[in-house]
Structure 1
Amino acid sequence: MKSLFEFGAHAGAHRVAVRAGMSVLVPLVVLYSIGHIEWSIFAAFGAFTSVYGRNTAYAPRLRMQGIAAAIMVSSVLLGAVVAVLPNPEYTVVAVAAVWALVVAFVSDAARLSPPGPLFAVFGLCSVASVPAGPNEFALAFTVSAGAALFALLVGQVGRVRAGQVRNSTWGATSAVNSSRESAGSAVRSAIVATLRRPGELRHISRFAVAAALAGSLSTGLGIGHPYWSMVAAIVPLVAIDLGNSFARGAHRLLGTVAGLALASVLLLFAPSGLWAIGLVAALQVVAELFVVRNYGFALVFVTPLALIMVSLAHPVSTSALITDRAVETLLGTVVAIVVALGYWLAFGRSRRTSPATTPPGAYTERAATKASTSAR
């Protein structure tokens, strides 16, 4: 539990924070200016493209964020489809569990950073929870894709500086000169290699099992926002080993409790309009400053960010939001730990923690520390 109180190196996190803040702020301001802030949920998840590839050079970042953009827009569209189905409560649990499995595999094959299906499941379930109509499919796609494209542009804006362009010449040239055949071959090779990796299917199946269990329990108990338990169940499982799963769960619980205290204060002022948009952008910036350095501390700001975003898209009772978030987080974290422990007991420690069986995107404290100190 030492990691609860340790902070990694800053390592240029302010640049990531500014990119993420701008990627969220501008689309929301545009929606506000045209009088449709209720579409903010579509824009927000498209904008989450910006959180990927935080410590990579421009060309690899563009590739990684391009894959992330496709995942996030697809998640929004899946959520919009589920939202119009009759009695979607359990349907969204099933769809999200399958989607978690798919995205976890893609994340490992493409070596996405941050790894895992967290944002994809969050996006799908959040959109599915908002009342919608069949005519909103095109709208959901346009808004989320527009926000994702803007995030891609923000992620590459530094290339206008001649020095940065020269530094990324190799990556840019490789991208331009790659043929469709070689690109297709690379994708096939990545898929085959990931499928053949020892322990890979066990690793990604945990996300589906945990999401299905947490979502089913939450829905069955009638708690207001079941998708929060599904998201909480995914977070600890990004860690490949049991110890780090416990650590991530502790970060999630303690950070959420502190974040709910902050959220209850901020929501007393009933933020709306430009005030709410500015608050969302500011919280996003602060969260990105600390998310790699100390995940629990970052959740102090992520939690009110999530609640304000919900209130922007679909206003509900503040007390209900806070209560649901607390209960769902506890439920999801407990489910995640039970699943992690069950898999550990079933498949054996030696096969779960050896370097040969660690998927490339799996979270470990060592990997997190290395990422936080990388040059940007």
Structure 2
Amino acid sequence: MPVRAALRLAPLGDIWHKPALSGVAALAVVLVTLLLAGRLDLTLYASAGAMCALYGHGLPYAARAKALGWVVAGMLAGTTVALVTAALTESVAVRVAVAAVLAGVHKAACDASRIGPPGNVVLTFVAASAAFVPGERLADVPVHVGLGVLGGVVAWVVGMAPGVVRPDGPERVAVARALEATARLVRAGGCSAGDEDARQARHAAATAVNAAWQTLLRSGDRREGLRRLLVRAESAAAACAGGRVLDECAPGGRVPGGRVRGGADAGTLAGWAHELRKGRPVPEPPICDARTEAAERAELSGIAAERDAATAGAAARWAFLARWWRVVATVAAGAALAGWVSMALGVGRPYWAVVTAAAVFAANTTMSWSRALQRVLGNLLGVALFTALVPLTRWGAVALIVAVLVMQFVTEAAITRNYWLGSVFVAPMAMLMTEFAGAEPVSALVADRWLDTCLGAAAGLLACVLLPDRRAADRVRDGLERLRGALVELREAADLAAGEWWSAALPQERIAAAERAGHHRLAELTA
């Protein structure tokens, strides 16, 4: 199993500060309010809603409004089930079972909806913690959930607030990423070569362009200027993949209307990206050759149909949510096993083992191994950091609040570099959150956290090994057949369209690049 690759640090994420600031702002409002009210013991319930501010930062604001609403609803639904369980039974085994099932549901729902970071871990952490609240009564559940609703409102407002200043901010960032990735592809020189660097550059550009289209499709009929920039980036990438540059769009020379020719070179693409990130007016791509202009207009005219297809695809994902039963079963099994073993060993907080097992589960065994390694290393270092911080946090409530907020902020920066580095700060933050309900011996907290981390990682891996996805190979074969069919259909459609006298100019470079990439992928996967 890979070790070095699992621990390698990536560059700092370009928008890490957005979830960091949002999470800190929402938590700060909640914690300061409870501090002034003298009820920091209610932190768990109010923070359940407030931590939803971490979600949806890559979505356009119209889509973000809906997504945040669903995240808050999902968070509070899980918390309600957990609190009712805590009120109805003192059985630790039953509480672990409920927390484990919720962990499986959270994982499946987050994967199916593609909500993005931080995924299911935050939802599971809050719900599992709520399942083990001591002395919970049924009469208290509505009040506690109500506090979560108020925290959710704060999170929603914080998440939507930047849209007042930059309503097209997420779309700008997505298109800027695509332009930057395409610029790197163009700068790579022999883009059609088969070396690894060229392959990675092509893959990065294609991924960024696709992600940008998904973002723009969610923004409705707006952002026409951003769509034109993205189409021009696609033209540059297709020309590069075809082994040439768009000489017809080379800088220099004036054209009718006063616009300057240009737009395919790496410097121009990077310059457009810089303008977008700085919030300046959206650049207008210069006039290109007639064939490329016609191809780009044809692509823009098909965006409405693609948006409808994307909407239908999203609905289909939810309609076939039953396909995710394996995820629910595997995560629930691993989480329950971890929690029950922790319970049998007399650990005071078996829900930490449940959360770790749920966090370890990934798409396949190799990825789960990497996540387990990262989780164990990060938590080990995080426990040491907690031990160093706790004397300071026990100076008073203000010191504790400041420490939690600092850990929250730093986590969002560190986790973009690697999950293990983020865990170094997540672990002490989770342990510090327990301090709001009352201080406990540091040695007990440290022992519980470390043991639960090891148990959770081991149980999560064991569940992945014993319950593998036996249909993965079948889905690969099905995907290969669909890819073959799509390539045949693409060629037939292009040939038919080329034979019609009224047909608009076809994007031949893009068609050729798609066919070449498809055939290469077929060859790789078949081998």
Q: TM-score, normalized by length of structure 2? A: 0.60
Equivalent residue, structure 1, for 2:302: none
Larger radius of gyration: 2
CA drift at 1:234: 0.9
Amino acid at match of 2:377: L
Q: Any unmatched runs of 5+ in structure 2?
A: 173-215, 222-310, 481-527
Deviations 1:171-202, CA, capped at 9 Å, x for gaps: 5768xxxxxxxxx999864322333x5xx322
The C-alpha deviation readout for 1:319-365, integer Å capped at 9, x for no partner, is 11111000000000001111112223x727635888959xxxxxxxx
> Which blocks of at least 5 consecutive residues in structure 1 are unaligned?
175-183, 358-376
Q: Structure 2: how far apart are the matches of 1:301 and 1:208? A: 26
CA contact (8 A) 1:272 1:312 kept: no
- Equivalent residue for 1:194, pick from 296, 316, 321: 321
User: What one-letter code is carried by the residue in structure 2 that aligns with 1:300?
Assistant: V
- Aligned to 2:62, which of 55, 59, 63? 59
Instruction: For residue 168 of structure 2, give the secondary structure of its aligned residue in structure 1.
Output: helix
What is the SS of the residue equivalent to 1:12?
coil
Aligned to 2:366: 243
Partner of 1:125: 128
Structure 2 residue identity aligned to 1:158: P
* 1:75 Cα deviation from its structure 2 partner: 2.2
**Partner of 2:511 in structure 1?**
none
Q: For the residues of structure 2 that align with 1:115 and 1:262, how far apart are their CA atoms?
A: 22
Q: Structure 1, residues 231-281: CA drift from partner, whole Å, max 9, x if none?
A: 1101121x2021111110011000000001110011123253111111111
Candidates 242, 258, 261, aligned match of 2:381: 258
1:177 paired residue number: none
Q: Which residue of 2 aligns with 1:143?
A: 147
Indicate the residue corresponding to 2:188 in structure 1: none
Q: Match for residue 455 of structure 2?
A: 331
1:300-339 alignment to 2 at 5 Å?
300-339=424-463
Structure 1's 116 and 14: CA in aligned 2 closer, same or farther, altered over 3 A? closer
Contact 1:109 / 1:190 at 8 angstroms: preserved in 2?
Answer: yes
Distance apart, 1:87 and its partner CA: 2.0
Alignment-derived partner of residue 212 in structure 1: 336
Q: CA deviation at 1:118?
A: 2.4
How high is the sequence identity, in percent, across the aligned residues?
28
Report the alpha carbon displacement of residue 25 of structure 1 after superposing the two structures with TM. 1.1
In structure 2, C-alpha distance between the alignment counterparts of 1:96 and 1:106, rounded to whole Å: 15
RMSD between superposed Cα atoms in Å: 2.8
Partners of 2:368 and 2:475 in 1: CA distance: 12
1:134 alignment counterpart: 138
1:37 Cα deviation after fit: 0.5
> Is 2:88–2:138's contact at 8 Å kept on the other side of the alignment?
no
Is the CA contact (8 Å cut-off) linking 1:17 and 1:286 kept in structure 2? yes
Change (3 A) 1:172 1:351: closer
The equivalent residue for 1:363 is none
Q: Of 397, 402, 424, which residue of structure 2 is paired with 1:278?
A: 402
Q: Which residue of 2 aligns with 1:10?
A: 13
CA distance in 1, matches of 2:437, 2:340: 24
The question of whether the paired residues in 1 share the 8 Å contact of 2:26 and 2:158 is answered with yes
272-281 vs 224-233, which moves further: 272-281
CA deviation vs aligned residue, 1:1-41 (integer Å, no higher than 9, x gap): 21313223421211221111111111110011111000001
1:349-368 superposed matches below 5 A: 350-351=473-474
Counterparts in 2 of 1:291 and 1:165: CA distance versus 1, 3 Å: closer
SS of the equivalent of 1:245 reads: helix
Write the distance in 2 (CA, Å) between the matches of 1:293 and 1:50.
21
Change (3 A) 1:306 1:272: farther
Give the residue type in structure 1 aligned to 2:380.
V
How far, CA to CA, are the matches of 1:279 and 1:115 in structure 2? 21
Q: What letter corresponds to residue 154 of structure 1 in structure 2?
A: V
Paired residues of 1:42 and 1:144 also in contact (CA < 8 A) = yes
Paired with 2:330 and 2:80, the residues of 1 have a C-alpha distance of: 24
SS at the partner of 1:307? helix
Classify the secondary structure of the residue corresponding to 1:94: helix
**Residue of structure 2 aligned with 1:223, choices 336, 341, 347:** 347
Counterpart secondary structure, 1:268: helix
Distance 1:243 1:281, change over 3 A: same
Aligned pair in 2 of structure 1 residues 149, 126: CA closer, same or farther (>3 Å)? same
Moved more, 113-122 or 81-90: 113-122
Q: What residue number does 1:180 align with? A: none
1:347 maps onto 2:439 in alignment = no
Q: Residues 185 and 139 from structure 1, CA distance in 2 versus in 1: closer, same or farther, beyond 3 angstroms?
A: farther
Partner deviation per Cα, 1:126-176 (whole Å, 9 max, x = no partner): 1222222233212211211111111111111111116538969985768xx
What is the alpha-carbon distance in structure 1 between the residues aligned to residue 448 and residue 76 of structure 2? 26
- The residue type equivalent to 1:96 in the other structure is A
Aligned mates of 1:46, 1:165 — CA distance in 2: 24
Q: Which among 26, 34, 37 is matched to residue 34 of structure 1?
A: 37
- The code of the aligned residue for 1:242 comes to T
Structure 2: how far apart are the matches of 1:317 and 1:56?
Answer: 43
SS in 1 for 2:58: coil
1:194 aligned partner, one-letter code: L
Question: 2:46 — aligned with what?
Answer: 43
Q: Which residue of structure 1 aligns with residue 84 of structure 2?
A: 81
Residue 64 of structure 1 contacts residue 110 of structure 1 at CA under 8 Å; is this kept in 2?
no
In 2, Cα distance between equivalents of 1:121 and 1:88: 19
Could you tell me which amino acid in structure 1 is paired with residue 92 of structure 2? E
Q: Equivalents in 1 of 2:424, 2:430: separation in Å? A: 11
Aligned to 1:295: 419
- Taking structure 1 as reference, are residues 173 and 257 closer, same or farther at Cα in structure 2, changes over 3 Å only? same
